Amino acid sequence: MRTTSRLSAIVAGLAATVAFAAGAWAGPLDHPGALKALTCAACHGAAGNSQSSSMPILAGMNAAYFKKQIEAYATGKRPSPEMEPYGKQVRDLGADDIAAYFASQTMQPSPVPSDAAAVQRGRVASAPCVVCHRENGRGDPATGVPSLVGQAPGYMVEQMTLFKQDRRNPGDASLAALKALMKTIPDAAFADLAAYYSSLR
């Protein structure tokens, strides 16, 4: 009886070892980029799901878009005294792994509430935006256009303002059309646009 129990325990232990090796019990930090991305959680939230209005959500972000922005921060092409050192850190630690990690995470839309009237105004104001960001706001990964769905509203307002003032990626010819469009939109409408896109699911 004792021998049978011991044998059963050994078999169970071997099965557990095989299951672990196969990744069946992979934990949240087992992804190659998870530990490398821990520093990002301080501002961008656990697994890249920011709870703040001013910090962008990285969870679910297209890996190629993430890497492009990190490179822009690291080289100063996207000026940011706060993000430039972190851009360099991500690049040194392994941008491919960190980008893949965030891309693999399930995005949780911003918990910041959106005013219903602002959402409606933003829906109307978004007509010119659908050319690139599509009707559903999910963008186009193939052309490098990011999704705006559920993104932090304060962050979106800030970025629209930076585009309008040519302070985000200044002089970048690939963004000229976007910046020209931003100049046609009143500053007051940015909050409405952000409320609308943040409300999408």
Residue range 83-129, pLDDT digits in tens: 999 999 999 999 999 999 999 999 999 999 999 999 999 999 999 99
The token pair that represents 67 in the structure block: 């890497």
In 3D space, the residue among 63, 122, 142, 49 whose CA is nearest the CA of residue 96 turns out to be: 63
- What value, to the nearest 5°, has the Cα angle with vertex 61 and ends 55 and 64? 120
Q: CATH fold of 38-104, please?
A: Cytochrome Bc1 Complex; Chain D, domain 2 (1.10.760)
Round the average pLDDT of the chain to a whole number and report it: 90
**Whether the predicted pLDDT of 12 surpasses 80:** no
User: pLDDT of 54-82, one tens digit each?
Assistant: 999 999 999 999 999 999 999 999 999 99
38-104 and 116-199 in the same fold:
yes
**Whether the predicted pLDDT of 6 surpasses 50:** no
Q: What is the 3-state secondary structure (H, E, C) of 124-180?
A: HHCHHHHHHHCCCCCCEHHHCECCCCCCCHHHHHHHHHHHHCCCCCCCCHHHHHHHH
Share of the chain above pLDDT 90, in %: 85
pTM as predicted: 0.84
The pLDDT of residue 26 is 67
CA 26 from centre of chain:
23
**Whether the predicted pLDDT of 10 surpasses 60:** no
77 Cβ contact partners less than 8 Å away, ≥ 6 residues apart? 71, 169, 172
CA distance 188 to 185: 8
Give the domain ranges of the chain.
38-104, 116-199
CB count within 10 Å of CB 68 equals 17
Share of the chain above pLDDT 70, in %: 87
**Which CATH superfamily hosts domain 116-199?**
Cytochrome c-like domain (1.10.760.10)
Q: Around 73, how many Cα atoms within 13 Å sit in the side-chain half-sphere? A: 19
